[in-house]
Chains A and B, each alone.
Chain A
Amino acid sequence: QVQLVDSGGGLVKPGGSLRLSCVASGFSFSDSYMSWIRQAPGKGLEWVSYISPADSTIYYADSVKGRFIISRDNTKNSLFLQMNSLRAADTAVYFCARARLDTAMTPYFDSWGQGSLVTVAS
């Protein structure tokens, strides 16, 4: 079955960097759109970034544009999020998710990882 395993979270100081990973199994990762979505403690879901199967299409939320970089390694069924210049407001559980496209070619998310907690504090 589809499985997404997030890792790489931890405590980091403001201005620091962290790299999240997500290993996928049970489906054709190289053919799949993938995304990162986060949830601050006690808050709602916030989309972070989105990448197409061959890296040709990448989107970022305005809140992370210029600081975060999404990437993937299809040979290792892995998705990554490089987070730089971290702020307290970036504190959240980060979920990787598989994106499917509806008939209007817009995404929805049918499988989610368990989440990885990132805490930005001094």
Chain B
Amino acid sequence: SYELTQPPSVSVSPGQTAIITCSGEKLGERYTSWYQQRPGQSPVLVIYQDRKRPSGIPERFSGSNSGNTATLTISGTQTMDESDYYCQAWDSNSGVVFGGGTKLTVL
């Protein structure tokens, strides 16, 4: 089955750039989406099709995908960005696949 691997946690200081990675075999050949989930809330789509932002998502959120790694970058990180982040892709055998999630701490 296809797997996506994320670091369990990432820490960043306010105003700095947070980088969250998502690794999978030939992930760059698939589209990757990213979701933000605050405690007790439903997930929110922040990036789709590797680098597109839904309306209402701040420009500080950006994405890229190449080789075996997709990356979510949050520029000028704010305390409100402290959340869990999940990557997601599609595999023809496994279906929808989510990464294990990354807890972003802003301190």
| A residues in contact (CB < 8 Å) with B | 35, 37, 44-47, 50, 59-62, 95, 100, 102-104, 106-110, 112-115
Known A113-B42, A114-B42; contact A108-B88, beta-carbon cutoff 8 A: yes
Sorted nearest first, the 5 A-B pairs with minimum C-beta distance are: A106-B90, A47-B96, A108-B33, A112-B42, A44-B101
Give bound CA distance, A44 to B37, whole Å: 10
Q: What are 23 A-B contacts with C-beta separation under 8 Å?
A: A37-B96, A44-B84, A44-B86, A44-B99, A44-B100, A45-B37, A45-B43, A45-B88, A47-B95, A47-B97, A59-B95, A60-B95, A95-B42, A100-B48, A103-B31, A106-B30, A108-B31, A108-B33, A108-B45, A108-B49, A109-B43, A109-B88, A115-B42
- Contact in complex: A106, B31 (CB < 8 Å): yes
| Total count of chain B residues near the partner, CB < 8 A | 26
The answer to whether B15 has its CB under 8 Å from any CB of chain A is: no
Give bound CA distance, A103 to B33, whole Å: 13
- Contact in complex: B49, A62 (CB < 8 Å): no
Return chain B residues, CB-CB under 8 Å to A59. 95-96
Q: Is the interface of B mostly helix, strand, loop or mixed?
A: strand
- Contact in complex: B90, A110 (CB < 8 Å): no
Return chain B residues, CB-CB under 8 Å to A102. 31, 48-49
Return chain A residues, CB-CB under 8 Å to B101. 44-45
Give bound CA distance, A16 to B97, whole Å: 27
Q: Which residue of B lies closest to A59 (CB)?
A: B95
Give bound CA distance, A59 to B86, whole Å: 21
Give bound CA distance, A89 to B46, whole Å: 29
Return chain B residues, CB-CB under 8 Å to A106. 30-31, 89-90
| Most-contacted residue by chain A among B33, B37, B95, B98 (CB, 10 A) | B95
How far apart are B99's CB and chain A's nearest CB, in angstroms? 7
- Contact in complex: A112, B88 (CB < 8 Å): no
Give bound CA distance, A107 to B89, whole Å: 8
Return chain B residues, CB-CB under 8 Å to A50. 95-96
